[in-house]
Chain A
Amino acid sequence: MIYLDSAATSFQKPPVVAAAMQDAMRRMSSPGRGAYSSAMRAADTVLDCRENLADFFHVPDAGQIVFTGNATHALNIAIRSLLKEGDKVVISGYEHNAVTRPLHALGARIHVARAPLFSPEAQVEAFRQALPGARAAVCCHVSNVFGYILPLEEIAALCRSASVPLIVDASQSAGILSLDFERLGADFLAAPGHKGLLGPQGTGILLCRDSALPLIYGGTGTESRRKEMPDFLPERLEAGTQNVPGIAGLLAAVRWLQRQGTQHIRRHEEMLMQQFCADMAENRQVDLFTCRGNKCQSGLVSLQVRGLDGETVARRLGERGIAVRAGLHCAPLAHENAGTLEQGTVRFSFSPFNTQKEIRRATAILTDLAR
């Protein structure tokens, strides 16, 4: 199988990830419950992961790194910490349901800062117009549908000027694009452990500037007589038993990424995406959604095949060993903004482990399908 659905989850991972998880399952129990050797090994691994992530994302204090089950969990914490019913929130037109659904459930007044696809300047201007009166803003760094890299630093600067707290959804950029949490000045940054960070499913992180409101209440291992959750991070947001094998795997993955360097990974995925686009550019049956010069696009591209619905394309590709995703990608807002809501798209997303040979094979099969 040629796996081109890394935007959903990373499939190929560094071998150290599985090894670390196995080691954790053999030698680690639960941190924060006892002080015997297997509990302390678990505790040390969890802290090591926090410290590595703090270094990776330029977070001043490892205590600001909170472990969650996934990015959706992290986003829910951030959203519910900043907003209540009726509050105005500004979002980009490319947000995932992990952002729009919690906002809708909360009863927030959602203001979409609409801008055309791959138009960073228009996107910044749309945020500038929309921010007055907002209680918070939420913005994805990279669209999970189109790979569009939004102008996050400019948007963050606008939010700081307007004193509007910003939540960043880094689901498609963490581990791939450089992210400096301290310099960005965002209040929260959410990311899954299992996509660009190459860790296991069941892991996610929330980077917090200050404290936040707990989403889940329960045991934290200390001060058990208190009825309230601790009032300090990270324990305030981490009730219940940690996913220690997951965190051990995530630690191994982050260490691997630190050795590789995000710039190297970005260059590799950019090269694969450029090759894919070049192979398909002349095919009149295929409509590619790409940024001119690929300057504001990550290693992810969506397309439509004329005369064939996306699910059929994905199914036929799957029968021939090419794994992709079709449909709305849990981001109907992005499709609405780009004009693809009716049909959806077929999405091809790349990883550090894909090769040029795989891309050539995939585009050859796609070309054959699209005749």
Chain B
Amino acid sequence: MFYLLLCRSLTYAQRSARFLERKGMTAIVIKAPPAAAANGCAYALRIAARHYPYALELLQNSGLSPMRVFALENGELREVSP
């Protein structure tokens, strides 16, 4: 299971990914699935479920809060409350 953290731009996605990697967590920048990108075209971070709580806390404390968060499991996308 993964979490997708929707970012407001590619720059924010990259900066968030680099920030998390410096903290020892792998975060992959991907194009967000259309179902997750209400305003069309977005980038998201894909992170492993085990990293999600701590990653979210770190990002929120660093001014890099994701716009929305989705759980991705068995190919299904489900929005969760951050």
Cβ contact within 8 Å between A63 and B8: no
Q: Which of A35, A226, A232, A234 meets B43, CB within 8 Å?
A: A35
At the interface, yes or no: B15 with Cβ under 8 Å from chain A? yes
Cβ contact within 8 Å between A47 and B39: no
Binds B, one of A108-116, A217-225, A352-360: A217-225
Q: How large is the interface on B (under 10, 10 to 19, 20 to 34, 35 or more residues)?
A: 10 to 19
Cβ contact within 8 Å between A226 and B8: no
Cβ contact within 8 Å between B41 and A47: no
Residues of A contacting B43 in the complex (Cβ-Cβ under 8 angstroms): 32, 35, 222
Decide yes or no: A223 and B40 within 8 Å by CB, A40-B29, A230-B8 being known contacts.
yes
Contact code string B1-25 (vs A, CB < 8 Å = 1, else 0): 0000000111110110010000000
Cβ contact within 8 Å between B42 and A222: yes
At the interface, yes or no: B68 with Cβ under 8 Å from chain A? no
Chain B residues touching A, majority SS? mixed
Q: Which of B9, B40, B42 meets A235, CB within 8 Å?
A: B9
Cβ contact within 8 Å between B15 and A62: yes
Contact code string A30-47 (vs B, CB < 8 Å = 1, else 0): 011011000010011001
Q: How far is the CA of A31 from the CA of B8 in the complex (A)?
A: 15
Cβ contact within 8 Å between A230 and B9: yes
Q: Which residue of A lies closest to B63 (CB)?
A: A61
Q: Which residue of B lies closest to A230 (CB)?
A: B9
Residues of A contacting B11 in the complex (Cβ-Cβ under 8 angstroms): 47, 50, 63, 234-235
Q: How far is the CA of A43 from the CA of B28 in the complex (A)?
A: 13
Cβ contact within 8 Å between A43 and B14: yes
Q: How far is the CA of A161 from the CA of B46 in the complex (A)?
A: 47
208-266 of chain A: CB within 8 A of chain B: 220-226, 230, 232, 234-235
Residues of A contacting B9 in the complex (Cβ-Cβ under 8 angstroms): 32, 220-223, 230, 232, 235
Q: How far is the CA of A34 from the CA of B31 in the complex (A)?
A: 7
Q: How far is the CA of A220 from the CA of B9 in the complex (A)?
A: 9
Cβ contact within 8 Å between A224 and B41: yes
Q: How far is the CA of A222 from the CA of B37 in the complex (A)?
A: 9
Report A53 CB to chain B, min CB distance, Å: 13
Residues of B contacting A62 in the complex (Cβ-Cβ under 8 angstroms): 15
Decide yes or no: A43 and B10 within 8 Å by CB, A35-B29, A35-B30, A63-B15 being known contacts.
yes
Q: What are 7 A-to-B residue pairs whose CB atoms are below 8 Å?
A: A32-B43, A35-B30, A43-B14, A63-B11, A221-B41, A222-B10, A223-B39
